[in-house]
Each structure stands twice: as C-alpha cells, then as structure tokens.
C-alpha cells in the first residue's frame, strides 16, 4: 500500500454567505475529500481577513483550513475540480506537508 501523504487545503469563502450556507459548503467539501478516500484530520474556520486585492468584487473573505491524509491524488483532484466551479469559494490552495 502506498504511503499516506499529508496535505493542507486553505480556501477562502465569500464573506456574504450566511452561516447555514457556509456550514453546508464546508460539509460538502469535507465529504468530497472523505468520499474519495482521504482522511479529513481537521477542518476549521481560520478567520475573516481582508484580501490583498479584490477577488470577484470582494475585499475580504472567510478563510477555512482542512488537513487531510491520503495515499492517492483522487480526493485532491475532485476537490480541485469542484472548487473551480463553486461561486462561493473565491480562492483555494492545496499544499503538501513535509514528512
């Protein structure tokens, strides 16, 4: 079996999303990862921050951090594919943590 790798996914949710919609969005993207074989170790709101530059007419965003372990790229690829088309996610970044 392949060695499990650790990743961090940081994404920015648009700030005018109501709490229920934001929670549903977070649950949906956590489920996308776990349904595709990743282990979601942590999923937490980070903070609301002012953006360095305007993104889709927004000057600030809600940062959310997910830590995952996975032994293949399928969960990350699926997250990437769906996050690109989500109007509620302004930006996201997937980084691999050093072992």
Question: Rounded to an integer, what distance in angstroms lies between the CA atom of residue 54 and that of residue 61?
Answer: 10
Confidence of residue 98 (pLDDT cuts 50, 70, 90): confident
DSSP string, 17-58: S-HHHHHHHHHHHHHHHHHTT-EEEEEEEEEEEEEEEEETTE
3-14: pLDDT as tens digits: 789 999 999 999
Instruction: Delineate the domains of the chain, giving CATH numbers in brackets.
Output: 5-96 (3.30.70.60)
41-91: pLDDT as tens digits: 999 999 999 999 999 999 999 999 999 999 999 999 999 999 999 999 999
Distances (CA, A) of 99 to 7, 69, 84: 10, 11, 28
Q: Which residues lie across from 39 on neighbouring strands? A: 69
pLDDT at 2 > cutoff 80: no
Question: For residue 76, what are its two tokens?
Answer: 């990350």
């Amino acid at each position: 079996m392949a060695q499990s790798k650790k990743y961090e996914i940081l994404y920015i949710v648009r700030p005018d999303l109501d709490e229920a919609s934001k929670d549903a969005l977070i649950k949906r993207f956590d489920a996308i990862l776990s349904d595709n074989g990743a282990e979601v170790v942590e999923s937490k709101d980070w903070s609301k921050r002012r953006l360095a530059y305007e993104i889709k007419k927004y000057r600030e965003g809600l940062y959310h951090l997910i830590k995952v372990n996975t032994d293949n790229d399928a969960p990350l690829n699926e997250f990437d594919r769906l996050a690109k088309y989500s109007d509620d996610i302004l930006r996201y970044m997937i980084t691999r943590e050093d072992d």
